Structure 1
Amino acid sequence: MDYFLTYTVYVLILSVLMGISTWKLFKKMGYSPLLAFVPFYNYFIIQKETKHPKWWVVMAYLPIVGPIMMTVFHLFLMKHFGKSTFTQRLLTVILPFIYMAVVNYSKDAEVEKEDELYLTEEEKSAKKKDTFLGSVTFAVVFATIIHVFFTQPFGIPTGSMERTLLVGDFLFVNKWSYGFRMPMRPLAIPFLQGTIMDTGEKGNPKDDPKSYVDAVKLPYSRILQLNKPQKNDIVVFNYPQDSVHTAIDRKDPYVKRCVAVAGDVIEMRAGRLFVNGKPEQILGDQFEQHKYIAHAGSQLDVPALYKKYGFLPLQEIQTNDGFIYDFQGLTDQTAKEIKALPQIIDMKEHIWEKDSAAISYKMNSMRDGYSKNIDTTQSIFPINKKWNQDWYGPLKIPKKGDVVTLNQETLPEYQWIISEYEHNKLENRDGKIYVNGQETNQYTIKQDYYMMIGDNRDASLDARFFGFVPEENIVGKPMFTWMSVEGLFKDGGSTYQAPTKVRWDRMFKATNTGEANKTSYWWVAVLILVLFFGWDYFAKFFKKKEKED
């Protein structure tokens, strides 16, 4: 309700601005000046008078799409009054209500009459150009509608979901899987997620130019929510602890498997996942994958390993007595096969010690083989637990309506929920906890939360590190892989770069089915394209033939 109330306020503000800046122009077109203030109908009149499709008006106030269409309508109106030079169009785009007001209150603003019979060749050429630009604009708007309101393309740049989703897979995400989340930043550049460009490693990401106007915001709302994420669903969501973007729907998109839903209890025991005390259910297209450290007497043929298994060692370190390899994402069967290679002296699964706080490390070449270079950037969630990615929990996933106890021990578990996800003022001072200024020892959870973890358990930045994923961060389900390119992204710091090639067998395969052997329907897409362009070609051919006859 808050969403649509805020939306209505924005519409009324825009309508008042429109009316103030164009009422005299409407009067000169033969209409009551008051109609310039009426939402939708004011733009309907502009479309009618400028002889453009009137049904375009339905898109006038849609989030993200609306500002584009309004700009188009303003340009139509200004051209109708003879303001069509480059400078005048530019002013209409960047200062719409100000420039239209200048025209509105000027004395010489009159409707420009146009007679096709007396147009010069230059004017006819300009008109054709305007028609072409209009077609391009509509194509962009149509694509924006699909992108914002129905489905969004998403690429897989890392191996956290191997072997279910491969590095270089490109997916289409269904935004209606769990109900449609209404856009929260209505003024934004189409097709861009959070920023217009990256200023580079030396710059502060917070200083990167944003692709949206953060000041114009709408509250979280979801419509037609018939389903919620279930255990084993592959889910696309916005990274909860993204500190660069305050807008939820503009935070970086992640894809992981939902391993536990609100109310479940999750636990990792020696790298194996348990939910509510039971081992996880392994689906047909899901593989348990783990980290192994191998000691080889001589160098392994890495390209040959990649060709056979489709993965790369994270690191290769030469030592005095051979080579050390850090393998991530090995199934038990693959590990068994690699261990049997004649070069391998020793190979063990890497499991963190129990009750040791999580750290990550990189192997460095040393006389003793390798050393641990501590990296504390991947602290475990919650930060006061002696847990790691192999020994984790038990941890209960918060559910809407749960009343949780707050004290110094439990606060790290719930502080992000209270302050960031549910937007309260949280204070912890003198050993006492205050929520919105009131001292308290409990809190009622306002929304459901989920645990999202990658299938490649030892090579995934997931909920074990960043914590619970709020329901408001959920985007949707991947539907299918529409393109897959091997070697497109460099794989996790590996010294070997895979060759670039298209994986035809993965194209147009459905995700989220759990089936081991999915059918690829890429040939259906090719057939549709052939029929579409073929029909267009033959339609033009027969139309030309008919004219000749």
Structure 2
Amino acid sequence: MSLETNSKAAGSSWTETAKIVIQALAIAMVVRVFFYQPFNIPSGSMKSTLLIGDYLFVSKLSYGYSRFSFPFSPNLFSGRIFGAEPERGDVAVFRLPQDESIDYIKRVVGLPGDTVQMTDGVLHINGEAVKLEYKDEFANVECDPYFRHCRRVVYKRFTETLPNGVSYSVLDLEPNGDYDNTDIFKVPEGHYFMMGDNRDNSSDSRASVGFVPYENLVGRAEIIFFSAAVDEPDGMRWVSPWTWPFDIRWTRFFNLVR
């Protein structure tokens, strides 16, 4: 075989490889834009359902598409297309109404037209107390952002069951916390009331977040695909790859978000 033939074969091989890479990237982009988008959890407001360092896929198909479904939020249309209403109990990603560049993740507890109130740490919807049963204790080591100080925190964990039968765990750190007693909130049409499962440590519709417009919903959290213990004392030491097998939370891989 001549040198020229070898050169042509090598060139053809590189061309085919480039085509495969470009096609793979195009498919990945389509999936991310229209179907599933990855998100990571930076705060503890959804403990113990979601932990700091969880990475999850969010389904954009669940609620249809608004301008917030797409990169850079282009103002191509108003409202939603192929829209579907969220259900009570969904864990949803949404754009913060006060700053639409920021993503939040909370649980949908109040639908349009509902009244919502917290009384002595118990959620009330439309005047009825939501079923709340003690489950166990949830112990967690919590550190400041620079890991300069860590402490072991023990929460009481309860099972909360919404009127539609959806059950999940919520945490209570202290009785009579700041958000354990609230006014009655009347959810406007086209809006939703969102709460974190870590009830004493969540900025949500009880306070600064307020009601979340339907248009601001990005998608429903579906599955955890990776988790690293970034909030623990020796969590995920990125500079030392040999420690990664011990820093990764293997048991959380492929857990459904409920």
Provide the TM-score with structure 1 as the length reference.
0.37
Task: Percent identity, please.
Answer: 33
- Equivalent residue number for residue 390 of structure 1: 180
Give the Å deviation of 1:166. Answer: 2.2
Residues 507/179 of structure 1: CA separation in 2 closer, same or farther (3 Å cut): same
Residue identity opposite 1:269 in structure 2 = T
What is the distance in 2 between the residues matched to 1:271 and 1:222?
A: 35
Residue of structure 1 equivalent to 2:257: 511
Within the alignment, does 1:266 sit opposite 2:131 as a pair?
A: no
- Unaligned runs of 5+ residues in structure 2 are 145-149, 159-172, 237-245
Superposition pairs for residues 212-291 of structure 1, below 5 Å?
212=72, 217-225=75-83, 227-242=84-99, 251-282=101-132
Larger radius of gyration: 1
Describe the SS at the equivalent of 1:165: coil
Instruction: Report the Cα distance in structure 2 between the residues aligned to 1:505 and 1:184, rounded to whole angstroms.
Output: 30
Structure 1, gaps ≥5 residues long: 1-118, 189-211, 243-247, 290-308, 316-324, 334-347, 353-387, 400-447, 513-549
Q: Deviations over 1:115-149 (max 9, x none)?
A: xxxx7754554443233222111110000111111
- Distance in 2 (CA, whole Å) between partners of 1:151 and 1:465 is 28
What CA deviation, in whole Å up to 9, does each residue of 1:9-39 have, x standing for no partner?
A: xxxxxxxxxxxxxxxxxxxxxxxxxxxxxxx
CA deviations on 1:504-534 (whole Å, 9 max, x unpaired) are: 332222223xxxxxxxxxxxxxxxxxxxxxx
2:222 is aligned with 1:449? no
After superposition, the C-alpha distances for 1:267-292 in whole angstroms (9 at most, x for unaligned) are 12233322222222459xx9799xxx
Partner residue, 2:217: 474
The question of whether the paired residues in 2 share the 8 Å contact of 1:267 and 1:273 is answered with yes
2:155 and 2:220 mapped to 1: Cα distance? 26
Deviations 1:320-379 (A, max 9, x none): xxxxx987671169xxxxxxxxxxxxxx93535xxxxxxxxxxxxxxxxxxxxxxxxxxx
Quick one: distance in 2 between partners of 1:132 and 1:498?
Answer: 38
Paired residue total:
228
Distance 1:236 1:332, change over 3 A: closer
Task: Say if 1:501 and 1:232 are closer, same or farther in 2 by CA, change over 3 A.
Answer: same
Match of 1:134, SS?
A: helix
User: Which of the pair is proportionally richer in strand?
Assistant: 2
Residue 468 of structure 1 aligns with an amino acid whose one-letter code is F
Q: Is the 8 A contact 2:122 2:132 kept in 1?
A: no
1:458 aligns with 2:188: no
Question: Which deviations, in whole Å up to 9, do the C-alpha atoms of 1:201-222 show, x marking residues without a partner?
Answer: xxxxxxxxxxx4x8x6412343
CA distance in 2, matches of 1:179, 1:329: 39
Separation in 2 of the partners of 1:457 and 1:288? 16
Q: Does 1:150 align with 2:39?
A: no
State how far apart, in whole Å, the 2-side matches of 1:328 and 1:351 are. Answer: 17
User: Offset of 1:497 from its aligned partner?
Assistant: 4.5
Aligned to 1:502: 248
How far does residue 179 in structure 1 lie from its aligned partner after superposition?
2.3
- The one-letter amino acid paired with 1:158 is S
Q: Deviations over 1:436-462 (max 9, x none)?
A: xxxxxxxxxxxx101111010111122
CA contact (8 A) 1:171 1:483 kept: yes
Displacement of 1:482 in angstroms is 2.0
Cα distance in 2, alignment partners of residues 184 and 349 from structure 1: 37
Provide, for residues 182-235 of structure 1, a one-character-per-residue CA deviation record: whole Å limited to 9, x for no partner: 6676xx5xxxxxxxxxxxxxxxxxxxxxxx4x8x6412343333x312222211
1:310 CA displacement: 4.2
Secondary structure of the equivalent of 2:42?
Answer: coil
Instruction: Determine if the alignment matches structure 1 residue 165 to structure 2 residue 38.
Output: no
Task: Rate the CA distance shift 1:466–1:182 in 2: closer, same or farther, 3 A.
Answer: closer
C-alpha change, 1:268 and 1:327, in structure 2 (3 Å) is farther
Task: Summarize the Cα distance change of 1:282–1:123 in structure 2 as closer, same or farther, 3 Å threshold.
Answer: farther
Higher helix share: 1
